Amino acid sequence: MISKNIILGIETSCDDTTAAVLKDGHKVLSNIVATQEELHKDFGGIVPEIASRKHIELINIVIKQALKRANVDFKDLTAVGVTNGPGLIGSLLIGLAAAKAICYSLNIPLIGVNHVLSHMYANFIENPDLYL
């Protein structure tokens, strides 16, 4: 796949393990979400230690699924964006570790993303004309 900009996004700030691939900043090629809703339902909320341990199990699977669905290989990536806060520290560390490993091995930039601000900026991904 040839493009000037292919970014892998990783989000693990709480209980969902998520990876997405974007092309040229505005085209979502894939978006994979592995939820932990069933795992935490008996506790009446998210248990941070359980969430982070589940992220360890899921992170590589979710990333590989996102790349496969986007028809992208690791070597096609030009950067990795990853949630760096706020969130559950154990959960954040799993996503950050995966992102750093990918970036280090490919010698590509790591982009830290604020979870709260990303909710606002997500509106502009497929609708860049909304941005003022």
What integer pLDDT is reported at residue 126 of this predicted model?
75
Instruction: Tell me the percentage of the chain whose pLDDT exceeds 70.
Output: 96
Whether residue 55 lies inside any domain: the answer is yes
* Tokens coding 112: 């830290």
Predicted pLDDT at 125: 80
Over the stretch 30-68, which tens digit does the pLDDT of each residue have? Answer: 999 999 999 999 999 999 999 999 999 999 999 999 999
* Distance separating alpha carbons of residues 28 and 5, to the nearest angstrom: 12
Report yes or no on 66 lying in a domain: yes
pLDDT score at 131: 63
Structure tokens at 74: 């690791």
Task: With a cut of 90, say whether residue 116 has pLDDT above it.
Answer: yes
Q: Is residue 117 part of a domain?
A: no
Top-confidence residue, 17 or 119 = 17
For residue 96, tell me if it sits in a domain: no
pLDDT of residue 75: 97
> 3: pLDDT confidence band, cut at 50, 70 and 90?
low
| Rg, C-alpha atoms of the chain | 15
Domain annotation covers residue 68: yes
Count of domains for the chain? 1
Q: Which domain holds residue 58?
A: 1-6+50-78
Q: Which pLDDT does position 1 carry in this prediction?
A: 46
Domain membership flag for residue 71: yes
Which pLDDT score is estimated for 132? 57
Return d(Cα 25, Cα 5) in angstroms, integer: 7
pLDDT of 127 reads 78
Total residues belonging to the chain: 132
Evaluate whether residue 59 is within a structural domain. Answer: yes
